[in-house]
Amino acid sequence: MTLRYLFAYMLFALILLPVFSFAQSEAELQQQIEQNNAQIEQLNKEIAQYQAQLDSTTKQKNTLQNKISQLDLQRKKLTASITVTKSQIKTTEIQIQQLASGIADKQTTIEGDRAGLAQSIRSLNETEQQPLSISVLSAADISDAWQDIDYIANIQSAVQTDIERLAQEKKSLSESKATAESKRAQLLKQQQTLASQQGSLDATRRAQAELLAQTKSQESTYQKILAQKKAQQESFEAALSNLKAQLNVAVNPSQITPAGKGVLHWPLDNVRITQYFGNTPFAASGAYGGKGHNGMDFAAPIGTPIKSALGGTIAGTGNTDLVRGCYSFGKWVMVRHNNGLSTMYAHLSQVNVTQGQSVATGQLLGYSGETGYATGPHLHFGVYVTAVTKILKLGDATKATTPCAGAVMPVPPISGYLNPLNYL
């Protein structure tokens, strides 16, 4: 084979590489993505409409019918949100499929490049091993010899160019792989969100069923329960402030972590504080037995995921509504942390953890509700000094008589309540 033919062969090996077309498949996948995005946009409009209606109903009189309407709207909003998340998951899966096809295509190209490049280098090495004098003497004339030498130089340049192209394709493949891995991580996060949203939907369904069973679908019964909640709450707060001597222990500052921003994380994603700690205007109006609010309240529609403010161990869970006539914390969870603090989450509609379980920061504990003393859905969040807090029947801790005497709950002395804002 002459050098000219060799040069032509090598250029063929370097340039005419296997080509695989995914044009039709890519177009179909892109069309599915666009359809999903259009559906998501429409659903987001519906979700905004449901939220506007919810905002409107919450301003209306607190009646059983309005409460049922709120729960229905919340369920419709959650159902739409679940559909949005499913569409987002589907879109991510399609994008991963696109990336996988692109990566496979790029890998095939690289392998073809590598094979052609290897063959070219072998042929070039064989040619370069021939002495220049022999190449000149074997040529038909001097002109052909110099042309062959030029071809060798061109081949060397082409090989170098192909090496650089191969390196760029390897870089592109690595970037595509990193993007695909990022998409998979996003997909896992979306799946976790979906599970949480489905749990929220279950919580609202259960809350509605319990409300209808409790009130027997009668407005008069619902209003009677509201009045009982208000009356019993006053006796409950009085009992908390009238503890027995063995619970009135002093707090040792060395047993708790110093106050500081970020010691605890917010227990829910969207924060709107409706009542602060201590002597709030509501407390000054006569609530809480004149002792101030022992935690913070956050607006949280029924079914809102409630998360642990810090890693720790579930110290206990309970439901004070199981004690007839007791309106206090309702369904609650307490997490004991390793820094001398414990956090309390009350008025939940559903509890998803058990006593003794280890939890991480941000882990789902349950879903918000309006169990216990709550005339509207919210989260009561408290921060307690672990060393002086006991989980027991309220009747074992207080001197006062109360319908909640048989209800199990966390009970600290007044000095054991801390302002959550000092740690959030």
Question: 166 and 283 in one domain?
Answer: no
DSSP code string of 159-216: HHHHHHHHHHHHHHHHHHHHHHHHHHHHHHHHHHHHHHHHHHHHHHHHHHHHHHHHHT
Question: 277 and 199 in one domain?
Answer: no
Burial (0-12, 13-18, 19+ Cβ within 10 Å), 379: buried
Give the pTM.
0.72
Question: 251 and 141 in one domain?
Answer: no
Please report, for the domain that includes residue 417, its CATH number: 2.70.70.10
- The structural domain count of the chain equals 2
pLDDT of 22 reads 47
Question: 200 and 98 in one domain?
Answer: yes
Report yes or no on 224 lying in a domain.
yes
Question: 132 and 8 in one domain?
Answer: yes
Question: 278 and 144 in one domain?
Answer: no
The distance from CA 262 to its chain's CA centroid, rounded to whole angstroms, is 19
Question: 245 and 177 in one domain?
Answer: no
Report yes or no on 213 lying in a domain.
no
pLDDT of 287 reads 52
Per-residue pLDDT tens digits of the chain, which is 424 residues long:
454 555 555 554 554 444 444 445 778 888 888 888 888 888 888 888 888 887 787 777 788 888 888 888 888 888 888 888 888 888 888 888 877 777 777 677 767 666 666 666 666 565 555 554 555 455 555 555 555 556 556 666 766 676 677 677 767 767 777 777 787 788 788 888 888 888 888 888 888 888 888 888 898 888 888 888 877 777 787 787 788 777 777 788 887 888 999 999 999 999 999 988 876 665 555 555 556 678 899 999 888 999 999 999 999 999 999 998 888 899 999 999 999 999 999 999 999 999 999 999 999 999 999 898 887 889 999 999 999 999 999 989 888 788 888 999 999 988 889 999 999 9
Question: 317 and 299 in one domain?
Answer: yes
Domain boundary (208, 227, 248) is at: 208
pLDDT of 312 reads 97
Cβ-contact 318, 393 below 8 angstroms = no
pLDDT of 360 reads 97
pLDDT of 57 reads 79
Domain boundary (173, 208, 243) is at: 208
Question: 264 and 180 in one domain?
Answer: no
Question: 200 and 125 in one domain?
Answer: yes
pLDDT of 215 reads 85
Report yes or no on 288 lying in a domain.
yes
Q: What are phi and psi of 338, to 5 degrees?
A: -90, 10
Question: 145 and 34 in one domain?
Answer: yes
pLDDT of 89 reads 85
180: domain range?
Answer: 3-208
User: Which one, of 352, 310, 8, 7, lies nearest residue 153 by Cα?
Assistant: 7
Residue 257, SS3 per DSSP: coil
User: Which one, of 384, 355, 364, lies nearest residue 295 by Cα?
Assistant: 384
Helix count (H) and strand count (E) of the chain? 7, 12
Rounded CA separation 33/39 (Å)? 10
Domain boundary (208, 242, 277) is at: 208
pLDDT of 159 reads 64
User: Which one, of 22, 31, 184, 177, lies nearest residue 93 by Cα?
Assistant: 184
Which residues lie below 8 Å from residue 284, measured CB to CB, with a gap of 6+?
none
